Amino acid sequence: MERKEVNAILVDDFADFLKANNLFQKFSIGNILCSKCEKSITTENIAIIYFDTEYRFCCDDNRCLEKL
Ligand SMILES: [Zn+2]
């Protein structure tokens, strides 16, 4: 995946992405947090992955998406 920002990511791609970046362990224990509200990111609420010195994640809450 070349793009650094991924919209409407597919769940399978998300799992692969996490594994490729050594984040899957962190994810599986609920330590991947929304960069805006700090809610745990799950396959249910992941909306956007973006890059800002490191990978950051945003949940699908409109209030969070508006702040991006
Ligand atoms: Zn959020």
* Burial profile 10-23: b = 16 or more Cβ within 10 angstroms, e = fewer: eeeebeebbeeeeb
CA of 48 to the centre of ligand 1 (A): 10
CA of 1 to the centre of ligand 1 (A): 24
pTM: 0.79
Domain annotation covers residue 43:
yes
pLDDT at 1: 42
Total number of domains in the chain: 1
CA of 8 to the centre of ligand 1 (A): 15
CA atoms of 51 and 46, how far apart (whole Å): 15
Domain annotation covers residue 5:
no
Which residue segment(s) compose the domain that 33 sits in?
A: 11-67
Model confidence at 67: pLDDT above 90: yes
pLDDT in tens, 26-64: 999 999 999 999 999 998 899 989 898 999 999 999 999
Domain annotation covers residue 62:
yes
